Structure 1
């Protein structure tokens, strides 16, 4: 009887365990379903128009409370603005303190801006470029190094492939006519190869004018927000109004390693105010 009783108790235990397991599974599935419903209900994007949805898909947004550099940056997001040329805006790439610091570094050393001669590779004066500027040293100090690392992280182009930061200042009436950042000669690509991309950082707002314009860009730009606020020069193509802390990344070369003619760009004349900017040119190879 003891053996039979043991078997009976063991059998009853199996029945009870199976029932209990089934009950646990049912409760788990019910809880999972409720959790999925709540997540979908409260975390899914609200209904919106087709244009709003496209705008949302065209940008990747995240918040940044702390900065790896000087000062604190606000909300940051990367906004796609063009495929031809490939161009993106990184909002709040620099903090206000970093912008003012770069300007203070450059002010004592500003000189008339020049252009690169395609035959000799030397810097020469040109009426096409009427701003003033100067170059910092790559890795000049901790703040500059942090910015250069941030550029490399954003572009996936190593710091060693970039030229030194160039600080530019445009006063009223000053501009830079439409041009390419890539080289059309062999002399200038001996060191580092071709320029592949440019990051243009805005160190100040501009009251009127001073837009970065891409006259050869493809698209219908008159329907974009803020079009009526552009200067006549800015209405000559895809244009971006300077905003302190924002950074414009555009590619001078296509993914197939060919030069992109739609990357032609210029700086519109400043009509009111001052324009300060900082440029980083990046090469295919180590520069």
Structure 2
């Protein structure tokens, strides 16, 4: 059974609109700015995205503050990227994310689908690029979209045990439940980055975990 602190709250009166659909807000936290949503993608669409990604996945890499992109034991998942609007399902999901967040589709990096097998995890990290890091300077150039400002994470299957998204400095955990999503932003109107958005993908204890991740930036990201 998952940790009882895991967010699975039920507030029927709290909803968000995207196009002609309403999405239930399971939990909303102001500091850090985290919103958990229910039923963003149905089971058939979740499984279809998994099957599209399955033959393409390979060991995940990380952006190291000194050494650039590399494979690292801090992140032991496998994954793949889809180009923006590469497939109808991807395009539909990207449109939904844009409507929910108010961030234009062109500000999003390519959708990434990740698989975590038992024991695999991603240690606590920030999704934004550290401003003090020399390797960040090229990544956040305006012509590349600038700094990351938010993350939209969608759970493609339900994990029987483990696999939560945890914000350790804020005491928040979000369970991996199929079709649900976790959105968090980390850059305010003044451009200040929130260190409370430090988060981890906890180790999968039972089953496996499939997620889709969309990182959103300040400006347009080249296709």
Q: Judging by fraction of residues, say which structure has more helix.
A: 1
Q: Secondary structure at the match of 1:129?
A: coil
Q: CA separation in 1, counterparts of 2:57 and 2:96?
A: 25
Asked whether the equivalents of residues 59 and 78 of structure 1 are also in contact (C-alpha less than 8 Å), the reply is yes
Root-mean-square deviation (CA, aligned residues, Å) is 2.2
1:126 and 1:141 map into 2 onto residues whose CA distance is 30
Of the three residues 25, 44, 48, the one matched with 1:78 is: 25
Return the alpha-carbon distance in structure 2 between the equivalents of residues 285 and 76 of structure 1.
26
Larger Rg: 1
Q: Deviations over 1:206-244 (max 9, x none)?
A: 010000000111xxxxxxxxxxxxxxxxxxx31011100
> Scaled by the length of structure 1, what TM-score is found?
0.67
Q: Is the 8 A contact 2:11 2:27 kept in 1?
A: no
Change (3 A) 1:189 1:205: same
Deviations 1:106-127 (CA, angstroms, capped at 9, x unpaired): 1001101110133464x20111
Greater relative contact order structure (CA < 8 Å, 6+ sep)? 2
List alignment gaps of at least 5 residues for structure 1. Answer: 1-54, 68-74, 218-236
* 1:109-146 superposed Cα distances (whole Å, 9 cap, x missing partner): 1101110133464x201110001111112111222111
How high is the TM-score relative to the length of structure 2?
0.86
Q: Is the aligned partner of 1:198 residue 2:151?
A: yes
**Matched length:** 205
Stretches of structure 2 that go unaligned for 5 or more consecutive residues are 1-9, 131-135
Q: Is the 2:11–2:24 Cα contact (8 Å) retained in structure 1? A: no
Q: Which residue is 1:116 aligned to?
A: 63
2:15 is matched with: 60
